[in-house]
């Protein structure tokens, strides 16, 4: 998940909508937003920007006149529904638009001011489904994955021309498997582990059902983990669990079949560089997420590879939505930037407006 950034922003650019005389595009950070031309916005004006997955109080959505364009929150496991409306992306007259704005900005509000508390907005989080009795105590070395920020919130971190790799972002469940040092009566030993992004899982639950999160622990994956551990290091392999019954996109799998695609490896908490990671995955025959592009970073490259059909299977076999969720952009040389906060690791996602606007989608953890 990424951070919710709701702040005062400066409009970078205003351009006409190609298919609607009454609409125009504004650019806020790296986000294209379609607004009414009657607002009269121009470059340099300040607005408050609400990105997709902002949850607004209903009264705020009513004041902004956008309630009918927002989505109700999904029902919890008990059937209840939390109050609030979820900001989405959409295509308006054939063009993608992300999020929304409030143009009525107090002149005293400086650019970059955090407005979440002022507006009473929070980030959408998919309902947490029960672990069905298969949770195990957390182990700190078996750590969760990096928070991936949306590149449109940080448009200046990647340098023009910097060598990057763009991969397809898959719609499944984050999965991690590892070989981790644990202390015992006889000293430290290495133990295989598996889990979702937040929960370490047993191989079988309380009813004896095998855990989906242990499915990727094949002989090839065990060999890869043992090779990198070298008898003493902690290794965590991260990837996406996908397929029948995982989410609304099954990528051509049916009848309960599931697959796994790896996208990162950490050794003693440090992520491998791109080339080293790809080499070791290939050596042990572990499938990786599809590569869409390798070359110099540019915004046109990000836009091109955010959209289009999935490369995992024929689009008509993908599920309800045959396009891409979006893409993930990483520098070939692993690096960090303090502008990102948190771990500071430079890795970004760009999400398709078509994916965000699809009907009947699921977002379960």
pLDDT at 1 over 70: no
Average pLDDT score over the chain: 92
CB 253 within 8 A of CB 317: no
More confident residue, 291 or 341: 291
pLDDT at 360 over 80: no
- Distance (Å, whole) CA 331 – CA 274: 8
Place of tokens 């996908």: 242
Q: What CATH number is given for 135-356 in this structure?
A: 3.30.470.30
Element at 356 (helix H, strand E): helix 353-356
- Work out the number of other CB atoms within 10 angstroms of the CB of residue 256: 9
More confident residue, 125 or 76: 125
- Distance (Å, whole) CA 294 – CA 161: 11
Domain spans of the chain, in order of start? 7-123, 135-356
pLDDT at 361 over 80: no
Place of tokens 């890869």: 224
Task: List pLDDT tens digits, range 114-172.
Answer: 999 999 999 998 776 655 568 899 999 999 999 999 999 999 999 999 999 999 999 99
- Distance (Å, whole) CA 337 – CA 229: 28
**DSSP-derived secondary structure letter, 200:** E
Place of tokens 């989080």: 125
pLDDT band at 345 (very low <50, low <70, confident <90, very high): very high
Give the pLDDT mean for 79-91: 86
CB 329 within 8 A of CB 350: yes
């Amino acid at each position: 998940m990424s951070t919710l950034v709701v702040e005062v922003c400066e409009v970078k650019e205003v351009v006409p909508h190609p298919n609607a005389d009454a609409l125009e595009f504004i650019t806020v950070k790296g986000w294209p937003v379609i607004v009414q031309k009657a607002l009269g916005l121009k470059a340099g004006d300040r607005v408050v920007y609400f990105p997709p997955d902002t949850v607004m109080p209903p009264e705020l959505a009513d004041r902004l006149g956008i309630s009918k364009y927002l989505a109700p929150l999904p029902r919890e496991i008990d059937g209840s529904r939390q109050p609030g409306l979820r900001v989405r992306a959409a295509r308006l007259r054939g063009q993608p638009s992300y999020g929304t704005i409030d143009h009525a900005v107090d002149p005293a509000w400086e650019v970059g001011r955090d407005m979440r508390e002022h507006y009473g907005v929070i980030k959408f989080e998919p309902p947490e489904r029960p672990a069905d009795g298969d949770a195990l105590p957390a182990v700190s070395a078996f750590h969760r994955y990096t928070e991936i920020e949306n590149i449109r919130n940080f448009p200046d971190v990647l340098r023009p021309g910097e060598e990057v790799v763009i991969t397809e972002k898959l719609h499944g469940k984050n999965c991690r498997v590892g070989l981790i040092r644990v202390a015992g009566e006889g000293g430290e030993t290495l133990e295989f582990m598996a889990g979702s992004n937040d929960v370490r899982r047993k191989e079988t639950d309380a009813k004896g059902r095998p855990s989906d999160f242990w499915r990727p622990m094949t002989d090839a994956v065990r060999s890869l983990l043992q090779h990198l551990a070298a008898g003493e290091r902690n290794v965590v392999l991260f990837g996406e669990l996908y397929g029948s019954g995982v989410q609304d996109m099954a990528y051509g799998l049916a009848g309960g079949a599931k697959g796994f695609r790896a996208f990162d490896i950490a050794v003693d908490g440090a992520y491998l560089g791109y080339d080293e990671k790809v080499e070791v995955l290939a050596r042990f025959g572990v499938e990786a997420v599809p590569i869409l592009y390798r070359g110099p970073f540019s915004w046109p490259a990000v836009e091109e590879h955010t959209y289009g059909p999935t490369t995992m299977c024929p689009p008509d076999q993908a599920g309800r939505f045959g396009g891409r969720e979006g893409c993930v952009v990483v520098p070939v040389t692993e690096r960090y930037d303090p502008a990102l906060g948190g771990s500071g690791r430079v890795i970004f996602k760009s999400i398709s407006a078509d994916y965000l606007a699809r009907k009947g989608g699921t977002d379960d953890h």
